[in-house]
Copies of this chain bind each other. A is one copy, B any other.
Amino acid sequence: MVAHIAVDIGGTHLRAGLFHQDSIHPLRLEQISTQYQDATPLDRLVSLITSIWPENDEVAAIAVAAPGPLNPYEGIIYTTPNIPGWVDLHLSEHLENEFNVPVLLGNDANLAALAEWKYGAGCGHHHLIYLTVSTGIGGGVIVDDRLLLGAHGMAAELGHTTIIPNGPMCGCGQPGHLEALASGTAIANWVEMEIASGTHSVLAGQTNLSAKVIAETAAMGDDLARTAFLRAGKFLGIGIVSFLHIFNPSIVIIGGGVSKSGDLLMSPVRKAVDEGIMSSQFQKGLTITHPEFGDQAGLIGALALTRS
């Protein structure tokens, strides 16, 4: 039988799965830490793929999901967060030489969108927006049943849409992006700033605040924590309204760690969308929902890429 290998690269873990044609359930699934002792992350990646290589089946292709800026057309990783040395890495070429099969590369948020469209919450939709809200905000867009990549494969950076010119600084160095207003990091930063300026909260004095802790505190009724999610949700909703006007999708899928706070984030999102939409035509048949795949999204997306 023909098999596909899907790989998900992260700063802490490398994960690889072996899949038979048509199934999304791996025959083999291995996960190792990205960095360990003397072997380079690239050597460890090759070992990982070798460890799940099938004995009898033919491998049609390998696809790799990776974070950070990369060129999916040429299979080049420009940089990867937390993996030192991966700069302008010709990953596809390297793996093709190693394994003699075609190797495809994609941005993990893009591939999560592809996973949801092909096998998950977005099945049957032709125009889809996927947002992952965690420490940052990543995006993936399906237009006309195809992944939006753009001229150099850098498209769908939805987290880097300007929401407030001169707003809080984004991790990318530019002000007022959606990511700087509605990501987990943004939520924690805002709460810390409010506490520093004297706003009362049971979170005062806690260090290393996270969106998860703030969500738990909000659930217990803390006003500042609740306001932090109301604010983030409102800005996320304002961003989504623009994306609806720009893409007119039939589904918006919101995933990532921060989205697990549920209605705390999603209620203000829905309110901002209802209030901000320029015409109800954009909401006709529109679904706003959560993803089907959690931390498997990158891997399933890479699988989808091998079959695209």
A242 within 8 A of B: yes
Total number of A residues with any Cβ neighbor in B under 8 Å: 50
Q: Which chain B residue has the least Cβ–Cβ distance from A146?
A: B144
A165 to B150, CA, bound (A): 28
Query: Which of the residues B125, B153, B246, B249 comes within 8 Å of A246, measured between beta carbons?
Result: B246
* A143 lies within 8 A of chain B by Cβ: yes
Binds B, one of A90-98, A204-212, A274-282: A274-282
Contact in complex: A150, B249 (CB < 8 Å): yes
- Of the candidates B149, B239, B248, B278, which one forms a contact with A248 in the assembled complex, judged by CB atoms under 8 Å apart? B149
Q: Known contacts being A161-B242, A245-B161, is A282 close to B154, with CB within 8 Å?
A: yes
B interface footprint on A190-227 (CB within 8 Å = 1, 0 otherwise): 00000000000000000000000000000000000000
Determine if A155 is an interface residue (Cβ-Cβ < 8 Å).
yes
Return chain B residues, CB-CB under 8 Å to A77. Answer: none
Contact B161 A163 (CB under 8 A): no
A156 to B249, CA, bound (A): 11
CB–CB A278/B160 < 8 A? yes
As a 0/1 sequence over residues 129 to 146 of chain A, the CB contacts with chain B under 8 angstroms (1 = contact) are 000000000000101101
CA distance A126 to B141 in the complex (A): 17
